[in-house]
Amino acid sequence: MITRQFEALPEHVIGSLFDAGDREAFLNSAFWSSTAYVGNGPYRLTAWDPGTQLVYQAFDDYFMGRAKIDEIIVRIIPDANTLVSNLFGGAIDGTLGITLGQQQAITVRNRWEASGEGRVVIMPARFQFVQIQFDQTKNGQPALFDARVRRALVHGIDRETIANVLSEGMASAAEVVMSPSDPQYSRVEAAISKYPYDPGRTVALLQEAGWTKRDDGFVNAAGLPLSVDLWNTAGSDNEREGNIIAANLGEIGVHVNLTIVPNSRISDTEYRTSFPGLNITAGPTDIPQTMNIGHSDQCAVAERRWVGTNRGCWKNAEYDRNYLIASTSLDPAERADAVVNALKVMTDDVGIFGLMYNLEAVAARKGLIGPGLRWPPQVGTTWNVHEWYWAQ
């Protein structure tokens, strides 16, 4: 069992429902989506207007002491520009998690630093990467099953430029799902396969894989063009990123069909797994947990209700074996070796490929003390919310 799989739940509220053995009734219970929810944190959920806001009241008997702020209202604002307008207009006092896009974070930081209205804490907290569709029933470009083609595509993307453009030079390109500050990073970096931006290498690999370069792009023996679908979620940063990738590969001769997944479908797990080519997503740099993005048991298939971190369903027995050791062994040296071996396998085969480290930006209005940095494996930015307070 790993993080978030062993959450303490109130037996007196849902124990009987669980014991009844009706999985659907248990999962669809109002407990999960209303004020009936009972947790073990510093705040109680007292009001929930789906899609609009949640209201929390401090819980008097929290084991680490009653929270210093009596009430917190979490408002749902899916559009990053609207979020910025609410910050500047004083309608909200801060942001949580990754809700503030990188460009918007820079905008808020620059204005608030000049005016003294607040602060923005920025840290590299997530790994942005590309999943590849390995499910033959969903794949729309069989060339992706050829590792030479996958390697060619990575060499054809200027990931350093993407990181610089989207973060104004504050983020860097990423090869693996591990923070550069991780103690194991130098050892992992020395072992993995790397794919620096090299259009010439892209051309050579595609030709080796049987593709021929013509004026309008690469074609196979049947004369069919090399075309790849790329999905990314809505948002100005994501759309700019998708357009840069499409331009990079287009200049080499690979046509990219860019699809922007609307906010209304982000939670549609079946739809999210149906991408026919490449899919951009992100996850925390939490080793070894986040390494499950390549584990075969995490394939998002119908039997799992389309839930799983391995949306492209890449499968590699050697990777699975090392991931199991990395996540279960009690021997630190054995775990460390398994992490290195697993990430080497993943990069050698290009089961997924990294793009950049996403910056997590948290805005806090002047006087709000507490929101800020976190250790990357920590879930969310409210880990210390019981300590937040308003300075006089």
| Domains of the chain, residue spans | 13-123+361-390, 126-357
Tokens of 336: 């460390």
What are the C-alpha distances in Å from 45 to residues 31, 51, 73?
Answer: 11, 15, 10
Tokens of 211: 């593709």
What are the C-alpha distances in Å from 167 to residues 44, 112, 195?
Answer: 36, 18, 21
Q: Any idea of the CA torsion for 21, 22, 28, 30, to the nearest 10 degrees?
A: -70
Q: Say if residues 146 and 349 touch (Cβ distance below 8 Å).
A: no
Tokens of 156: 């054809």
| Pairing relationship of beta strands 278-284 and 255-261 according to DSSP bridges | unpaired
- Predicted confidence (pLDDT) at residue 6 exceeds the cutoff of 70: no
* pLDDT value of position 4: 56
Least confident of 97-101, 160-164, 383-387: 97-101
Q: Is 61 exposed, middle or buried (0-12, 13-18, 19+ CB in 10 A)?
A: exposed
Q: Say if residues 381 and 360 touch (Cβ distance below 8 Å).
A: yes
How far, in Å, CA of 7 to CA of 78, rounded?
A: 27
Q: What is the pLDDT of residues 317-332, one digit of tens each?
A: 999 999 999 999 999 9
How far, in Å, CA of 289 to CA of 287, rounded?
A: 5
Q: What is the pLDDT of residues 174-226, one digit of tens each?
A: 999 998 878 899 999 999 999 999 999 999 999 999 999 998 899 999 999 99
CATH topology of domain 13-123+361-390: D-Maltodextrin-Binding Protein; domain 2 (3.40.190)
How far, in Å, CA of 286 to CA of 283, rounded?
A: 8
123 pLDDT band (50/70/90 cuts)? confident
| CA of residue 171 relative to chain centroid, distance | 15
**Strand, coil or helix: what is 70?**
coil
CATH match for 126-357 among 3.40.640.10, 3.30.1490.100, 3.10.105.10, 3.40.30.10: 3.10.105.10
DSSP string, 311-352: TT----HHHHHHHHHHHH-S-HHHHHHHHHHHHHHHHHHTSE
| 79 vs 320, more confident | 320
* pLDDT value of position 8: 84
Percent of the chain predicted with pLDDT > 70: 97
What sign results for the dihedral spanned by CA atoms 97, 293, 287, 260? negative
